[in-house]
Structure 1
Amino acid sequence: MVGAMAVVFGDIGTSPLYTLKEAFSPHYGLQPNHDNVLGLLSLVFWSLMLVVALKYVTVILRADNEGEGGIMALMALAQRSLSKGSRSVYVIGLVGIFGAALFFSDGVITPAISVLAAVEGLEVVSPELEVIVIPVTLVVLIALFALQRHDTARVARLVFGPIAGIWFLTLAVLGIADILHAPEVLKAVNPLWAARFFADHAWGGIFILGAVILAVTGGEAIYTDLGRFGARPIRRAWYFFVLPSLMLNYLGQGALVLENPIAARNPFYMGVPEWGLIPLIVLSTAATVMASQAVITGGFSVAQQAMQLGYIPRMTVRHTSSHNISQIYIPGINWTMMVIVVGLVIGFGSSSALANAYGVSMSMTMLIDTVLLAVVARALWPRWRVWVLPFCLALLCIDLAFFVANFVKIPQGGWFPFALGIVLFTMLRTWRRGRKLLRAEIQKEGIDLRTFLPSLMLAPPVRVPGTAVFLTADKNVVPHAFLHNLKHNKVLHEQNVFLTVATLNVPYSHKRVIVEKIGDGFYKVLLRFGFMETPDVPLALMQTCDVCDLTMDPMDTTYFLSRESIVACARRDGMPIWRDKLFATMHRNAAPVAGYFHIPGNRLVELGTQVEI
């Protein structure tokens, strides 16, 4: 539960730093009077209850893909519930990948806005300190990203857990202290105040949801971290600690604004005694670092899932812990996120400006989650779909309201996460489509394995001791590397393995190795990995000794693979030429197959081939 508070709820736990501050900013023109304060607090309370408590914590946590969560896992679960090869599977794939791209694009805003909002407390201490807000924020963020190469899980256990406990306790204490001065705010739990807010402001009232959504950002992380903590600790942490602390603090900020409307300028800090400002700023900064760490770790996890499912190129993945296999570090993702986050802090300059960019992509991600949940409930929950499907319809209306409210923020900065999401989606789809075209070209020029081997054995070349492993994407086609080896070396190993590595749409594979003995020392081997597993090919091949009489001596095994050089060709059907060139660039910069599959470099032979797409 303590770990869940630190990681799962790190993002949503720092939302009180800027949510009400943004709601009373001049951008929305909301006056800090009695009815507006109670209406706004009612909207925050019921958003937390309906979107976070009911949708994510209570319902969507049940849609686990063999214990794993997140939009990629939910997409795979929804696709598995449909007829294989149907058009619906393709559409669900598009929707899920678009949601993953939007999740990442909005996720990079979390470190920028949360750390910046915490450090902006210095302005409350003294207006002269405003000039150091940006430099201090950048130092904190750069140091955080630089530390990712080390075992951050150990730091999280020893440091972030206690920080989380102190942070949520502080939120509750600050809230109670302010509520005692204006207990009137407790009436905000009545949903009639939210309804009255919309009645007083007519259609213009819906746009305040662009600020209210800041209170629920981080809800997706609750589902993403399901596999790390499990549903029960997450639910207990939310209902017993996080939700009460958040609501007490929001109500306390509302009470402070009722008592002193000037406090709407920064209601989180302005209700704190002067002696407590500096300690609170330090604690807030530590809490936002905790939230940022959760976002970065989540980015690594989503990237690994996308890599395994074939949506992004292979990247270098390093394990930073010898005890926790899920503790990984992906340098390419880490430094890309750092550049984007630093650019956001410098470009927007304040948490209020960043708040205009925040929530656009998140509202669309929440909408996609609801659609995918409805698909899963309809197919896999026959006993519950009677009430889950109407619930999804109600959630769809709420998500659409949040989307409309945030869509108007696009000219003020919301264009950035939306544009970044479109770019990421284009790259993901280009890589997926390009790999399909590449495989089709290889199959078109390939030779059928079943007819080739009998003809080869009529006049076999010289046999040499040892085992040769030829990696191929199609187990029924002769690998190019095998043909090149015959052509140039004119030898045949004693044992020849045609190896295909498959990634399943489940987190973990229950049957790792499938071996088919062809005869004359030839074998077809299929290695199956889940999308949460690290594909260690040599280690998995050692298990073949338990399956058949194939012997795999690591010191007597050579791996052969062909490295394709992609040539974009406008004359061929498939993708537009610019996407062909984009795929060729991505393919050229992908991490080597050998490193991705943990194949020793001194046991590897690579043979090149050129393919037009």
Structure 2
Amino acid sequence: MAQSEKQSLPAGMLAAAGIVFGDIGTSPLYTLKECLSILPSGAVTEEAVMGFLSLIFWGLTLIVTVKYVIFIMRADHDGEGGILTLMSLARQNVGARLSRIIVLAGLTGGAFFYGDGIITPAISVLSAVEGIEVVAPALDRYIVPLSVVILTLLFVIQKHGTERVSRIFGPIMLVWFITLAVLGVRGIVMNPHVLHALNPAFALTFLLNHEALSFAALGMVVLAVTGAEALYADMGHLGKTPIRLAWLIIALPALVLNYFGQGALVLADPSAVKNPFYILAPVWAQIPLIVLSTLATVIAAQSIISGVYTLTHQAIRQGFLPPMRVIFTSATESGQIYIPVVNWLLFAAVTVVILAFRQSSALSSAYGIVVTGTMVLTACLAGIVAFKNWKWPLPVALFFLLCMLLIDVPLFAANLMKLLSGGWVPVLLAMTMLVLMLIWSSERSRLIRRLTDDPVRLKALISSLEASPPMRVGGTAIFLTRKEYEIPQALLHNLKHNRVLHERTVLLHIKTVDLPRVHNQKRIALRQLSPSFWQVTAAYGWHERPSMKDVLHLCGLEGFGCTLNEASFFTSHDTLVMKKRRGLAHAKGAIFHFFQRNALRAHEQFRIPANRVIELGGQKEF
């Protein structure tokens, strides 16, 4: 948020065009084409075209503008947005049972985003490269290889960061939206009659007159609003006002004009239904349009990839995924991160999806379930926030929730029809991620609950050590603890095997609180427990990156002077031994054991120099 506050409003709007609207902004490449493809025998009628245009317009208006821009974006947590942020907000004022349900809903929404993450890059780039078919049909066999090459290059450069190249995302997407608008106006001039589709009666008439197609129609119209969640998820990077204004002034008008321009073209020339987006352009502009479309879809794919990194980092910090290597690729922008494991797993999944489906039209059959599922969960969590956090009267909050669900639930139900035609792919990935997050968080919580957290026992140990201390050595020893009053196993091992105690011993507990950020004035709680023992609790938000250097600096401001190079850090790393388990319990234990064995060590998480760390441990049953 701090970053966004430094930007002028026009600069923020330009950045929003490049970061936020990549997914929803490239939907015109395939949406109307796929909508009209469900018509019987491919027969394009005026009623169908007008009906779909009306459905698309009111989908953009009600779902994106009213639901997300006006209401959901109010639910910020210290400026941050996204499904896990909404989950965090909704948990604040509820009981334990409802809190568990909210966590399950939030994690399911997060898992759905992973499912979306393998479809969006594939369908976006494929749909752009498919423009080759319009210009040179003989080259259509190169569409899949070229799409794979483009995405391979995109994933390869992730490790270098996108800070420099991302500066041109905004200008490119601005040119893209201007192009959408110009092409749309060109089409509307052919047949201004399409503007009558702004009347919702055309949408209702089409659905009522084609009941057999109504569910399939709703399933395809969702393609126009995929990416709506990004408006909420990216609030922390840019702020509410730039995103809202960029949507209302840049993205929404351009999208509506282009969809209506495509509709006018199809009414004038029904054969254009095979690819109305590219055929809408003059022949001389089609090759440049393919290039621009490819750039726009690469930006859309980059937005999804960055979103997956951000979601993963947030899930790690909140304890729902094991600690893994996170590389911050920018010295100035905290949102610029790279997670190698996630990058290559996502690359493999996207590549398999492209090779398996091969066409954007085939991928559209797999698209929508996880997107609309996230919409339903977002609506439910927002209803809780409206009642519990915003203090809306219960009838008003329920009416608000009902209005959202009246739109979201039918769309979700309609997209469930795609389950057997490819929709199972993102759903399977989403459910896999949900199970892994639940296993890690539940098994980790059970393990931590077994740790002693008794201030009386800790005080007794310290008193005995002060009364009859072992041999003292100079310097400061810092023992990391997972609970505030835990007796560190590393301390006991050190006393048992080395029989020494440092002049100053610090018991340091770094905890993640249910906030995006913690102000430095509230970060450190320092207490002296005895002449040679201190207790430090350092609080970090789930959007922050803990740093031992910063912790020691803040301790110095509180009167306890120590630097990284003056202290010895003792950490515990126990080898877990699984008790006898059967069936699913054994599988859960094996997965957790694998995660625990491969998770980052404490000194890697908190950026402690390796030459200052002493790691002690033993075996522990779980």
With structure 1 as the length reference, what TM-score do the two structures score? 0.96
- Paired with 2:254 and 2:67, the residues of 1 have a C-alpha distance of 20
- Look up the match of 1:533: 544
Aligned-partner SS, 1:173: helix
Indicate conservation of the 8 Å contact 1:441/1:611, yes or no.
no
- Paired with 2:419 and 2:42, the residues of 1 have a C-alpha distance of 20
Q: 2:23 aligns with which of 4, 11, 24?
A: 11
1:276 aligns with 2:285: yes
In structure 2, list runs of 5 or more residues that go unmatched.
1-12
Cα shift readout 1:218-254 (whole Å, capped 9, x = no counterpart): 0011111000010000010000110000000000111
- Look up the match of 2:91: 79
Indicate conservation of the 8 Å contact 1:356/1:412, yes or no.
yes
Q: 1:583 aligns with which of 584, 589, 592?
A: 592
- Paired with 1:351 and 1:292, the residues of 2 have a C-alpha distance of 14
1:211 aligns with 2:220: yes
1:24 aligns with 2:33: no
Q: 2:347 aligns with which of 329, 338, 342?
A: 338
- Paired with 1:190 and 1:580, the residues of 2 have a C-alpha distance of 57
Q: Offset at 1:554?
A: 2.5
Aligned-partner SS, 2:478: strand
Aligned-partner SS, 2:476: strand
- Look up the match of 1:229: 238
Cα shift readout 1:126-176 (whole Å, capped 9, x = no counterpart): 22111110111111101111111223122111x211111110000001011
- Look up the match of 1:141: 151
Q: Offset at 1:504?
A: 1.2
Indicate conservation of the 8 Å contact 2:76/2:86, yes or no.
yes
- Look up the match of 2:263: 254
One-letter amino acid of the structure 2 residue matched with residue 73 of structure 1? T
Aligned-partner SS, 1:482: helix
Q: Offset at 1:382?
A: 2.4
Alignment CA distance shift 1:571-1:136 (3 Å): closer
Aligned-partner SS, 1:515: strand
In structure 1, list runs of 5 or more residues that go unmatched.
none
- Look up the match of 1:401: 410
- Look up the match of 1:465: 474
One-letter amino acid of the structure 1 residue matched with residue 420 of structure 2? P
Cα shift readout 1:305-342 (whole Å, capped 9, x = no counterpart): 11110000111111111221221111111111111111
1:554 aligns with 2:601: no
Indicate conservation of the 8 Å contact 1:562/1:608, yes or no.
yes
Q: 1:490 aligns with which of 493, 496, 499?
A: 499
Q: Offset at 1:27?
A: 7.8
Q: 1:44 aligns with which of 35, 53, 56?
A: 56
- Paired with 2:380 and 2:19, the residues of 1 have a C-alpha distance of 26
Indicate conservation of the 8 Å contact 1:357/1:414, yes or no.
yes
Cα shift readout 1:171-228 (whole Å, capped 9, x = no counterpart): 0010110111111110111011111011101253122111100000000111110000
Aligned-partner SS, 1:255: helix
1:99 aligns with 2:127: no
Alignment CA distance shift 1:445-1:437 (3 Å): farther
Which deviates more from structure 2 when the two are superposed, residues 436-445 or residues 254-263?
Answer: 436-445
Indicate conservation of the 8 Å contact 1:438/1:611, yes or no.
no
- Look up the match of 1:518: 529
- Paired with 2:455 and 2:39, the residues of 1 have a C-alpha distance of 62
Indicate conservation of the 8 Å contact 1:122/1:133, yes or no.
yes
Q: 2:47 aligns with which of 28, 31, 35?
A: 35
Alignment CA distance shift 1:467-1:292 (3 Å): same
Alignment CA distance shift 1:383-1:415 (3 Å): closer
Aligned-partner SS, 2:573: strand
- Look up the match of 2:82: 70
Cα shift readout 1:439-479 (whole Å, capped 9, x = no counterpart): 13333999931222222333210111111111111222211
One-letter amino acid of the structure 1 residue matched with residue 569 of structure 2? Y
Alignment CA distance shift 1:362-1:590 (3 Å): same
Alignment CA distance shift 1:595-1:32 (3 Å): same
Indicate conservation of the 8 Å contact 2:453/2:487, yes or no.
no
Which deviates more from structure 2 when the two are superposed, residues 493-502 or residues 264-273?
Answer: 264-273
Alignment CA distance shift 1:513-1:575 (3 Å): farther
1:363 aligns with 2:375: no
Cα shift readout 1:349-371 (whole Å, capped 9, x = no counterpart): 11011111111111100000000
Q: Offset at 1:567?
A: 2.0
With structure 2 as the length reference, what TM-score do the two structures score? 0.95
Aligned-partner SS, 2:44: coil
Indicate conservation of the 8 Å contact 2:453/2:484, yes or no.
no
One-letter amino acid of the structure 2 residue matched with residue 154 of structure 1? R
- Look up the match of 2:6: none
1:449 aligns with 2:461: no
- Once the two structures are aligned, what percentage of the paired residues are identical? 44
Alignment CA distance shift 1:609-1:27 (3 Å): farther
- Look up the match of 1:117: 127
One-letter amino acid of the structure 2 residue matched with residue 419 of structure 1? L
- Look up the match of 1:545: 556
- Look up the match of 2:209: 200
- Paired with 2:332 and 2:466, the residues of 1 have a C-alpha distance of 48
1:377 aligns with 2:377: no
- Paired with 2:396 and 2:250, the residues of 1 have a C-alpha distance of 28
Indicate conservation of the 8 Å contact 2:309/2:337, yes or no.
yes
How many residue pairs are counted as aligned between the two chains? 608
- Look up the match of 2:71: 59
- Paired with 1:59 and 1:26, the residues of 2 have a C-alpha distance of 33
Q: Offset at 1:377?
A: 0.4
Indicate conservation of the 8 Å contact 1:512/1:529, yes or no.
yes
- Look up the match of 2:7: none
Aligned-partner SS, 1:232: helix
Q: Offset at 1:276?
A: 1.3
- Paired with 1:530 and 1:27, the residues of 2 have a C-alpha distance of 51
One-letter amino acid of the structure 2 residue matched with residue 32 of structure 1? V
- Paired with 1:139 and 1:561, the residues of 2 have a C-alpha distance of 44
One-letter amino acid of the structure 1 residue matched with residue 159 of structure 2? R
- Paired with 2:570 and 2:405, the residues of 1 have a C-alpha distance of 51
Indicate conservation of the 8 Å contact 1:214/1:359, yes or no.
yes
- Paired with 2:283 and 2:390, the residues of 1 have a C-alpha distance of 55
Q: Offset at 1:387?
A: 4.6
- Look up the match of 1:179: 188
- Paired with 2:41 and 2:496, the residues of 1 have a C-alpha distance of 76
Matching of residues 343-358 of structure 1 within 5 Å: 343-358=352-367
- Look up the match of 2:137: 127
Q: Offset at 1:595?
A: 1.3
Indicate conservation of the 8 Å contact 1:10/1:291, yes or no.
yes
Q: Offset at 1:77?
A: 0.7
Aligned-partner SS, 1:419: helix
- Paired with 2:129 and 2:212, the residues of 1 have a C-alpha distance of 35
Instruction: Say what the alpha-carbon RMSD is for the aligned residues.
Output: 1.8
- Look up the match of 1:2: 14
Aligned-partner SS, 1:554: coil
One-letter amino acid of the structure 2 residue matched with residue 458 of structure 1? A
